[in-house]
């Protein structure tokens, strides 16, 4: 194959035919929505009148769980090629490694974005309904930006995992590194680092600024997303170099 469209179609067929990858994508929607709605229902029964309460961010509480599924999907979609030498078959069909890598990342990224946007919209609608009279509408300042931003964030995290999978060639290795890195490192360091500082530039901290109605710290929603894009671009670049310069 030498043109982009057939390679793109073949990558779509690969993902669609692998149950574990489909389940991981479905888990992004289910886990994020379930935990978000549960948190909003809990907050409804509590006093949320304090100044720091962010009803928009509350809708995306489950994002920390959904991004685990996103990491699993991104790592499985790429690292799965290296199980049982499947990548040799793929590269025989598509000798141009750059084309193969670009097509795979395009399919992975677009699927993650589509599921991410569906997830964020569902979380917002159900979450605000669960908050009752404390909920807000999509016209609230920052609400639409947060809904779109949540979907973009999930897509970028998926691509981050995909890039690392191209480097490490092992889905368990990527999950073992990236899940603790995103879920625990910034949380722990944020507690011990006064005022945040460089911790605010970690990928999850920076990327999730777009979910806040009134972000604080050195990054605003768009510069925070830009920092996350740089992390993702670095991972994808290193992954591409490893694919094109080393034996499959």
Tens digit of pLDDT at every position of the chain (248 positions)? 568 889 999 999 999 998 999 999 999 999 999 999 999 888 876 755 566 778 888 899 999 999 999 999 999 999 998 887 788 888 888 889 999 999 999 999 999 999 999 999 999 999 999 988 888 889 888 899 999 999 999 999 999 999 999 999 999 999 999 999 888 777 676 555 555 577 889 999 899 999 988 887 788 999 999 999 999 999 999 999 999 887 65
- Report how far Cα 10 is from the mean position of its chain's Cα atoms: 23
Please report the pLDDT score of residue 210 as a whole number: 93
Q: Please report which residue ranges of the chain form alpha helices under DSSP H.
A: 4-17, 19-44, 55-58, 63-79, 86-93, 97-131, 143-168, 171-180, 186-192, 203-207, 221-245
Please report the pLDDT score of residue 1 as a whole number: 58
CA distance 150 to 153: 5
CB-based burial of residue 236 (10 Å sphere; 0-12 exposed, 13-18 middle, 19+ buried)?
buried
- Report how far Cα 136 is from the mean position of its chain's Cα atoms: 25
**Dihedral, CA of residue 239, residue 241, residue 243 and residue 247, to nearest 10:** -130
Computed on alpha carbons and rounded to an integer, the radius of gyration of the chain in Å comes to 19
Among candidate residues 43, 38, 66, 31, the one with its CA nearest the CA of residue 135: 43
CA distance 79 to 99: 17
Please report the pLDDT score of residue 3 as a whole number: 84
Please report the pLDDT score of residue 237 as a whole number: 97
CA distance 248 to 244: 9
Residue 59 phi/psi, 5° resolution? -65, -20
Please report the pLDDT score of residue 49 as a whole number: 57
Please report the pLDDT score of residue 91 as a whole number: 84
Among candidate residues 240, 236, 239, 237, the one with its CA nearest the CA of residue 109: 236
How many Cβ atoms sit within 10 Å of the Cβ of residue 90? 18
Please report the pLDDT score of residue 85 as a whole number: 77
CA distance 238 to 116: 25
Contact 41/134 with Cβ under 8 angstroms? no
Among candidate residues 143, 145, 160, 114, the one with its CA nearest the CA of residue 221: 145
| Alpha-carbon distances, residue 107 vs 65, 74, 79, 235 (angstroms) | 23, 11, 15, 17
Contact 186/206 with Cβ under 8 angstroms? no
Please report the pLDDT score of residue 181 as a whole number: 87
């Amino acid at each position: 194959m030498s043109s982009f469209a057939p390679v793109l179609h073949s990558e779509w067929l690969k993902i669609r035919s692998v149950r574990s990858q489909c389940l991981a994508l479905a888990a992004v929607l289910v886990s994020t929505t379930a935990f978000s709605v549960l948190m909003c229902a809990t907050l409804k029964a509590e006093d949320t009148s304090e100044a720091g309460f962010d009803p928009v961010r509350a809708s995306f509480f489950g994002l920390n769980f959904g991004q685990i599924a996103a990491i699993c999907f991104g790592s499985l979609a790429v690292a799965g090629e290296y199980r049982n030498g499947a990548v040799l078959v793929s590269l025989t069909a598509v000798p141009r490694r750059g084309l193969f890598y670009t097509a795979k990342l395009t399919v992975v990224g677009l699927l993650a974005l589509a599921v991410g946007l569906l997830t964020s919209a569902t979380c917002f609608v159900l979450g605000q309904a669960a908050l009752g009279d404390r909920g807000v509408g999509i016209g609230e300042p920052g609400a639409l930006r947060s809904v779109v931003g949540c979907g973009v964030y999930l897509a970028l995290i998926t691509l981050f995992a995909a890039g690392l999978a191209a480097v490490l060639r092992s889905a368990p290795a990527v999950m073992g590194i990236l899940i603790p890195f995103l879920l625990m490192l910034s949380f722990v360091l944020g507690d011990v680092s006064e005022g945040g500082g460089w911790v605010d530039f970690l990928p999850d901290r920076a990327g999730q600024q777009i979910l806040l109605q009134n972000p604080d710290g050195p990054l605003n929603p768009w510069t925070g997303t830009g920092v996350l894009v740089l992390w993702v671009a670095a991972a994808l670049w290193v992954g591409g170099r490893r694919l094109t310069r080393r034996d499959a």
